[in-house]
Amino acid sequence: MDKKVVFRKLAGAAIFILLLALVLLLLSYWFYPQQSEDITMQDVKPNGLLAEEDNTIDVILFGDSEAYTAFSPVQMWRDEGFPSFVCASSSQYISLTESFVHQALEHQKPKLVVLETYAFYRKMRSDNAFITRIENMFSIIQYHNRWKIISPIKMKSADYTWKDDMKGYKYAKMTTKGQNKQHMIPTDKIKPIPETNAKYVERIVEYCKQKGVQVLFISTPSTKNWTYEKHNAVVQLAEKTGVDYLDLNLQKEIKIDWHTDTADAGDHLNFRGAKKVNAFLGKYLAETYHLKDKRNDPAYAEWNALIPKFEFLTSEK
């Protein structure tokens, strides 16, 4: 074929694709939620944070299912009096954690951000990262379903009034007996954190520091998911980023009984395990980070009202 014709056709195709991209970008702009309350956290429980009053939460904890089964803000409130929230979703990728952190810090100015460390090891698939990048560029892909609510003149924003009574904690009732064996055997070996994931963690820490928020890594007790090799890797990363690290697997005084305290034989904690963890953790956080006791602050009256509900839910019925 004539070279000129080939060139003309290729140029035509390129122009078409560029025009299409432009149309999609314009639509993305139109569909993108105008108010930040509108940006959802893609999961019901962490969304509860968006309804909390601005600058009222002192500790925000991020992570996957390990985090939402282990951290219980209402218990820590009852015992120590500082307000916290768990922004966790199941199988959370560290890339999602990053966007959660950004969204959370838009309206809250906590003293401390906690990152649960098991999510550091969830390897991101390469096409996942690719898809996320495309989605970020063309946000129409993420927000396309807003065609149901937007009007041509004024965009209606969703109303985030739903609060989570357990502040992100997911109560696990079941017990599947695990084994009381020593799963943290000291060693010098290291199980490296995937490189991309480590970069994400570093970026998150950097962002928090810029915002003047302290960061703490916590490993929740799990015989199935945690080892000394992983512990060593997190120690290294904590040193590199200048962050504190608390490995609950090594805290003897928590006294997890793997026969009764786990929902699924050592993978996640159930409500009994969570109680033990939060009794320890609440005290630790309050003391280490000098968190104020706000139980008598009238602005937090709502929080006190949640205590009976929490106690009923987690009682041995």
Partner 1 sequence: MKFTSYISIAYLAIFLPAVILLYTILPKKVRPFVLLAASFTFFWFISEWLICYILISIVSIYLIALWLNKLKDKRNALVKEAENKEQKKAIKKKSGRNQLLVLLLGVLINIGILAVIKYSPFFFVNVNLFLKLIHSSARVSVPAFAAPIGLSFYSLQAVSYIHDVYKEKIKADKNIGRVALFMSFFPVIMEGPICRYADTAEKLWSGERLHYRNVTFGAQRIAFGILKKIVIADRLNIIVTTIFKDHEAFNYDGGLILLGAILYTIELYTEFSGTIDVVIGSGEMFGVTIPENFRQPFFAKSISEFWQRWHITLGTWFRDYIFYPVTMSKPMKKMTKNCRKKLGRDYGPLPASIIAFFCVWLCNGLWHGAGWEYIFFGMYHFALISLGSLILPLSNKLLAKLHIDRHKLPYKIFTILRTALLVCIGEMIFNSRGLHDALGMLKTLFTRFTFKSIFDGSVLSLGLDGHDIIILCVTLAIVLTVGILKERGKDPRELIASTPIFVRWPIYMLLVVYTVVFGAYGAGYIPIDPIYANF
Interface with partner 1 includes 7 (CB under 8 A)?
no
Selected from 11, 14, 18, 19, the binder of partner 1 by CB under 8 A is 19
Interface with partner 1 includes 3 (CB under 8 A)?
no
Interface with partner 1 includes 313 (CB under 8 A)?
no
**4 backbone dihedrals φ, ψ, rounded to 5°:** -60, -45
**Best CA proximity match to 64, nearest among 281, 191, 238, 220:** 220
Interface with partner 1 includes 23 (CB under 8 A)?
yes
Name the one range near partner 1 by CB under 8 A: 76-84, 125-133, 162-170, 258-266: 125-133
Selected from 7, 14, 16, 36, the binder of partner 1 by CB under 8 A is 16
Six-digit token pair at 150? 């937007």
Q: How many residues bind partner 1 (CB under 8 A)?
A: 24
Residues 294 and 76: their CA atoms lie apart, in Å, by 12
Interface with partner 1 includes 14 (CB under 8 A)?
no
Interface with partner 1 includes 145 (CB under 8 A)?
yes
Residues 288-307 that bind partner 1 (CB under 8 A): none
Q: Is 305 helix (H, G, I), strand (E, B) or coil?
A: helix
Rounded (5°) CA angle 137-138-140:
145
> Whole-angstrom distance between the N-terminal and C-terminal Cα of the chain?
81
Burial status of residue 3 (CB atoms within 10 A of its CB: 0-12, 13-18, 19 or more): exposed
Instruction: Decide whether 30 or 207 has the Cβ nearer to partner 1.
Output: 30
- Cβ 168 to partner 1 shortest distance, Å: 19
Instruction: Decide whether 138 or 207 has the Cβ nearer to partner 1.
Output: 138
Q: Check if the beta carbon of residue 66 is closer than 8 Å to that of residue 116.
A: yes
Burial status of residue 9 (CB atoms within 10 A of its CB: 0-12, 13-18, 19 or more): exposed
**68 backbone dihedrals φ, ψ, rounded to 5°:** -75, -15
Interface with partner 1 includes 141 (CB under 8 A)?
yes
Interface with partner 1 includes 42 (CB under 8 A)?
yes
Residues 207 and 199: their CA atoms lie apart, in Å, by 12
Interface with partner 1 includes 13 (CB under 8 A)?
yes
Residues 168 and 82: their CA atoms lie apart, in Å, by 15
Selected from 20, 137, 299, 301, the binder of partner 1 by CB under 8 A is 20
Name the one range near partner 1 by CB under 8 A: 49-57, 123-131, 162-170, 171-179: 123-131
State the residues that interact with partner 1 by CB under 8 A. Answer: 9, 13, 16, 19-20, 23-24, 27, 31, 40, 42, 125-127, 130-131, 134, 140-142, 144-145, 147-148
